[in-house]
Copies of this chain bind each other. A is one copy, B any other.
Amino acid sequence: MTKTVRIAVDAMGGDFGPQVMVPGAALALERGLDAFFILYGDEARMRPHLDAAPALAAASQTRHTDVFVRMDDKPAQALRAGRRNSSMWLAIEAVKKGEADVALSAGNTGALMAMAKTCLRTLPGVDRPALAAMWPTLRGKSIVLDVGASIGADGRHLVNLAIMGAGMARAVFDAPRPTVGLLNIGSEEMKGVDEVRAASKLLRAAPPPDFDYIGFVEGDQIGRGAADVVVTEGFAGNIALKTAEGTASQMGQYLREALGGDLLSKIAYLLARRGLATLKAKMDPRNVNGGVFLGLEGAVIKSHGRSDAVGTANAVEIAYRVAHHQLLGQIRAALADAHKDAPAGEPARPQLRMDSKV
Contact = CB atoms under 8 A, between A and B. Distances in A.
Interface of A: 74, 136-138, 148, 151-152, 183, 185, 190, 192-196, 218-224, 232-236, 238-255, 257-262, 264-265, 267-272, 274-276, 278-279, 282-283, 355-358
A219 B194 contact: no
Contacts of A196: 358
Contact of A258 (B137, B254, B264, B272): B272
Contacts of A247: 223, 243-244, 247-248, 251
A192 B137 contact: no
Q: How many chain copies? A: 2
Contacts of A74: 190
Q: Which 10 A-B pairs have the closest CB atoms?
A: A219-B242, A220-B246, A258-B275, A268-B272, A219-B243, A268-B271, A258-B279, A268-B268, A223-B250, A251-B251
Contact of A192 (B195, B223, B235): B235
Contacts of A282: 254
A136 B282 CA distance: 22
Contacts of A224: 246, 250
A278 B264 contact: no
Contacts of A243: 219-220, 222-223, 240, 243-244, 247
